[in-house]
């Protein structure tokens, strides 16, 4: 790989994975507020460990990302005050705005995972063959 994954980054990836899992489970269980809050806390801690505390703070306080930061924090607030459906939609929008520039890097990283990368690339390869 082009970059090194330290133990701290591995823990960050694990926390992000658990955060996404608990959030998904909270949505499946009819927007359970406790699971959604736990998923958000784990996800935020994982992002902070993966990127570093300073980089995370820069991303959330960057002038061009204020709309995403505000919508994400407002979504977190709505989850805590028992409006989880509105909160989840605001958080999803905030994540897309905040981390939109990282999607190409995430795609390259996911394609390099041995089995999972092939599963992700297979529909693209199939469409390329059908076009030819």
The residue ranges of every structural domain in the chain are: 7-98, 103-132
Residues for the chain: how many in total? 132
Question: What residues of the chain score a pLDDT lower than 50?
Answer: none
d(CA 122, CA 37): 35
pLDDT of res. 2: 54
Give the pLDDT confidence of 47-72 residue by residue, as tens digits: 999 889 999 999 899 898 899 999 99
pLDDT of res. 3: 65
pTM metric for this prediction: 0.75
pLDDT of res. 90: 95
């Amino acid at each position: 790989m082009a970059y090194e994954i330290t133990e701290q980054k591995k823990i960050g990836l694990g926390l992000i994975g658990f955060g996404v899992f608990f959030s998904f489970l909270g949505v499946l269980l009819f927007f359970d507020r406790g699971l959604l809050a736990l998923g958000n806390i784990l996800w935020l801690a994982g992002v902070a460990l993966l990127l570093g505390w300073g980089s995370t703070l820069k991303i959330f306080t960057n002038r061009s990302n204020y709309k995403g930061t505000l919508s994400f924090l407002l979504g977190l607030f709505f989850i805590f005050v028992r409006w989880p459906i509105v909160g989840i939609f605001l958080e999803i929008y905030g994540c897309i705005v905040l981390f939109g520039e990282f999607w190409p890097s995430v795609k390259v990283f996911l394609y390099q995972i041995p089995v999972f990368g092939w599963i992700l690339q297979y529909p693209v390869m199939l469409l390329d063959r059908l076009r030819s």
